[in-house]
C-alpha cells in the first residue's frame, strides 16, 4: 500500500512538473503570439494608410483603385502575421501556405466571372477610357457614367433610367466617349432643287453657322455637295461645335437653316 502511494505521489509530481514546463513554454509562445498579432495588426493598418496616400498622390489613380490595393496590402500582411503566429505553436506553415494556395485556386475557378469583372474594373480605373459624368456608348449599353466600381459601372440612360453594366462588358468592347474631346463635328444635310443657286446656298449656310454661338471658327464651317439626283441636290454643312453645349448648338443651327431655306422643318434631314 505504501509503495502504491509513493508511486502515485511520484507520478503526480512528474505530471505537475511536466505541466508546469509546458505552461511556461506555451505561455511564452502565447505571449509572443499576442505581441506578434498586435504589432502585425498595427503595422498592417499603418501600411494600408501609407499605400493609400501614396497611390492617391499618383496622377490618374482613382479613389476606388487606391482603396482596393491598399486594403489588399493590409490583408496580405494580416495573412502573413497569422501564419507566423501559427508557427509559434509548432504548426507546419508550409502545409498552411499550400492549403491557402489550393483554396485560392478553387475560389478563383468558382468566381471566374467575378474576378474577370474585377480585373476589367482595375483596367478601366487605370486607363480611364471614361470618367464619371461622361456620356459613353457601346454596342450593348449607353448612358452617362455615374460611378465606376470594381465589379460594375453605374450609368444613367438618356431617358433617365438606371443601368448597371458589368465591367467585363465595357472592357471587352469598343467604347465611344462623346464627352472626352472638347469639340465634335456635325454634318447637317439639306436638299435643294437642282435649279437653285448652289454657290449662294453654300455661302448662306456657312454664314448661318458662323453666327451661332459655340460653333468653332477653326476649323471653319464649310459646305460640299453630298449627293445629286435628277431633280435634287444634297448640300452638307460641316462644322465643329463645343461638346459642352452640343445639343443647344446643333439645335440652333438647325433652326437657323430652317428659317433661311424652308417653310416646313420636316424637310430638313440631319446627318450623323
C-alpha cell at 247: 445639343
Residue boundaries of the structural domains of the chain: 2-110, 130-177, 183-270
pLDDT in the model for residue 2: 59
3-class SS at 149?
A: coil
What residues pair up with 188 in beta bridges, in sequence order? 237, 270
pLDDT in the model for residue 270: 42
Give the Cα separation of 61 and 126 in Å (integer).
6
Give the Cα separation of 124 and 150 in Å (integer).
9
CATH number of 130-177: 2.30.30.60
pLDDT in the model for residue 260: 87
The matching CATH number, chosen from 1.10.287.1260, 1.10.510.10, 3.30.70.920, 3.40.50.12780, for 2-110 is: 1.10.287.1260
> What is the reported pTM?
0.61
**What CATH topology corresponds to 183-270?**
Alpha-Beta Plaits (3.30.70)
Inter-residue contact 269 to 227 (CB < 8 Å): no
Topology agreement, domain 2-110 and domain 183-270: no
pLDDT in the model for residue 63: 72
C-alpha cell at 6: 509513493
N-terminal to C-terminal alpha carbon distance within the chain:
111
pLDDT in the model for residue 269: 43
C-alpha cell at 200: 449662294
Cα-to-chain-centroid distance, residue 126: 8
| Helices 112-127 and 93-110: angle between axes, nearest 10 degrees | 90
Inter-residue contact 165 to 152 (CB < 8 Å): yes
| Pairing relationship of beta strands 183-193 and 269-270 according to DSSP bridges | antiparallel
Give the Cα separation of 119 and 117 in Å (integer).
5
Query: How many residues are listed for the chain in this entry?
Result: 272
Give the Cα separation of 104 and 88 in Å (integer).
24
Single out the residue of 195, 222, 196, 192 nearest to residue 207, CA to CA: 222
pLDDT tens, the chain, 272 aa long: 555 656 555 556 565 566 555 555 566 667 777 788 888 888 888 888 888 888 778 776 667 677 777 878 888 888 888 877 777 666 666 666 666 676 666 666 555 567 888 888 888 888 889 988 899 999 889 999 998 888 899 999 989 999 999 999 999 889 999 999 999 999 999 998 888 888 899 999 999 999 988 899 889 999 999 999 888 999 999 999 999 888 899 999 999 998 888 764 444 444 43
Tens-place pLDDT, residues 62-93: 676 777 778 788 888 888 888 777 776 666 66
203 phi, psi to nearest 5 deg: -65, -40
pLDDT in the model for residue 55: 77
Look up residue 215 and give its DSSP letter. B
Amino acid at each position: 500500500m505504501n509503495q502504491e502511494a509513493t508511486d502515485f505521489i511520484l507520478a503526480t509530481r512528474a505530471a505537475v512538473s511536466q505541466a508546469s514546463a509546458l505552461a511556461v513554454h506555451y505561455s511564452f509562445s502565447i505571449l509572443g503570439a499576442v505581441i506578434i498579432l498586435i504589432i502585425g495588426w498595427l503595422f498592417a493598418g499603418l501600411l494600408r494608410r501609407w499605400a493609400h496616400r501614396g497611390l492617391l498622390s499618383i496622377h490618374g489613380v482613382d479613389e476606388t483603385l487606391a482603396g482596393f490595393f491598399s486594403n489588399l496590402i493590409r490583408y496580405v500582411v494580416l495573412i502573413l502575421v497569422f501564419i507566423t503566429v501559427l508557427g509559434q505553436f509548432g504548426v507546419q506553415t508550409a502545409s498552411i501556405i499550400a492549403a491557402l494556395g489550393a483554396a485560392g485556386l478553387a475560389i478563383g475557378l468558382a468566381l471566374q466571372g467575378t474576378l474577370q469583372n474585377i480585373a476589367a474594373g482595375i483596367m478601366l480605373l487605370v486607363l480611364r477610357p471614361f470618367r464619371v459624368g461622361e456620356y459613353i456608348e457601346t454596342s450593348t449599353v449607353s448612358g452617362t457614367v455615374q460611378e465606376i466600381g470594381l465589379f460594375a459601372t453605374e450609368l444613367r440612360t438618356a431617358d433617365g433610367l438606371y443601368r448597371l453594366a458589368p465591367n467585363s462588358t465595357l472592357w471587352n468592347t469598343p467604347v465611344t466617349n462623346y464627352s472626352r474631346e472638347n469639340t465634335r463635328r456635325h454634318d447637317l444635310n439639306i436638299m435643294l432643287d437642282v435649279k437653285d443657286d448652289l454657290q449662294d446656298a453654300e455661302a448662306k449656310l456657312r454664314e448661318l453657322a458662323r453666327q451661332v454661338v459655340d460653333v468653332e471658327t477653326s476649323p471653319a464651317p464649310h459646305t460640299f455637295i453630298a449627293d445629286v439626283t435628277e431633280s435634287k441636290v444634297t448640300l452638307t454643312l460641316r462644322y465643329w461645335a463645343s461638346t459642352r453645349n452640343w445639343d443647344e448648338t446643333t439645335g440652333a443651327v438647325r433652326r437657323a437653316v430652317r428659317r433661311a431655306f424652308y417653310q416646313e422643318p420636316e424637310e430638313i434631314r440631319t446627318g450623323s
